[in-house]
Amino acid sequence: MLISVVVSFLMAASAGNFNQDFDITWGDGRAKILDNGELLTLSLDKTSGSGFQSKNEYLFGKIDMQLKLVPGNSAGTVTAYYLSSQGPTHDEIDFEFLGNLSGDPYILHTNVFGQGKGNREQQFYLWFDPTADFHTYSILWNPQRIIFSVDGTPIREFKNSESIGVPYPKNQPMRIYSSLWNADDWATRGGLIKTDWTQAPFTASYRNFNADACIWSSGASSCSSNTPTSTSTSTDWYSQELDSTSQERMKWVQKNYMIYNYCTDTKRFPQGLPPECTATTTS
């Protein structure tokens, strides 16, 4: 006889104390948690960058973080903020901010890895100066889709297309990672513009982390194995999809600010675009 055990839908609703939620993992003092855990800064100089990771692992969730990027001449630097599992067949959901010369726009680089396979890059300019103030960068990750958003505006949706053979991140718990590092061999104009170390140290700032998410611990999730039936707004993300208004906002961003889309790069894929690119199920 099958005995079903009802597991309550518990979530990590952590409203941003970096001391409680994150560990500084590298940088030899270049990463700092300040203001009683309300603010975290990463810095980069010619010797080293720095980084941190979440204490918890998550398997689905809505993750928000406010970032203020390196100001001024940030050419050659990359600020990465992403979810990732470990191992050669890892899953990963990426925001990467590619620095540029003063006055030129940052490039927001996004990617999705499933079972160790990435190559799903979309890149955008932003419609504001990401160095002047904090802005919210969000990843909504549920069993049906991944939605990247900036200040609540969706910029990209990656749908679950396993039905046509596309790996989708759904079985491997992921931690949140962030790092600030030197990538002047490729980050700015393909590596033509190098890091100006007279501008160092470069600093990026973080605040207002929030995770409505399923925590993975000791081989089990804090969420039910079944889709939650709660009507509470705090669990809406688990089955959330883009309504018509959100779809129009995403189309506006992609029309006006997208500068690269792997799904239109026929030179890169001479044998044919990846299957999710031509499926009606994926944006």
Q: How far is CA 217 from CA 9, 214, 282, in A?
A: 14, 10, 31
Q: How far is CA 123 from CA 66, 155, 162, 252, 262, in A?
A: 19, 10, 24, 14, 9
Q: Helix, strand, coil % (nearest 5) of the chain?
A: 15, 40, 45
Neighbours of 97 (CB within 10 A): 25
Phi, psi of 277 (to 5 degrees): -70, -30
**Number of H helices and number of E strands within the chain?**
3, 17
Helix ranges (H only) for the chain are: 18-21, 244-257, 275-278
Separation between Cα atoms, residue 116 and residue 250, nearest integer Å: 27
Burial status of residue 269 (CB atoms within 10 A of its CB: 0-12, 13-18, 19 or more): middle
Q: Is the separation of the CB atoms in 144 and 227 below 8 Å?
A: no
15's CB contacts (< 8 A; 6+ apart) are 208, 209, 210
Instruction: Please state whether 151 falls in left (phi above 0), alpha (psi between -120 and 50) or beta.
Output: left
Neighbours of 152 (CB within 10 A): 10
Active site residues: 92, 96
Q: Is the separation of the CB atoms in 144 and 283 below 8 Å?
A: no
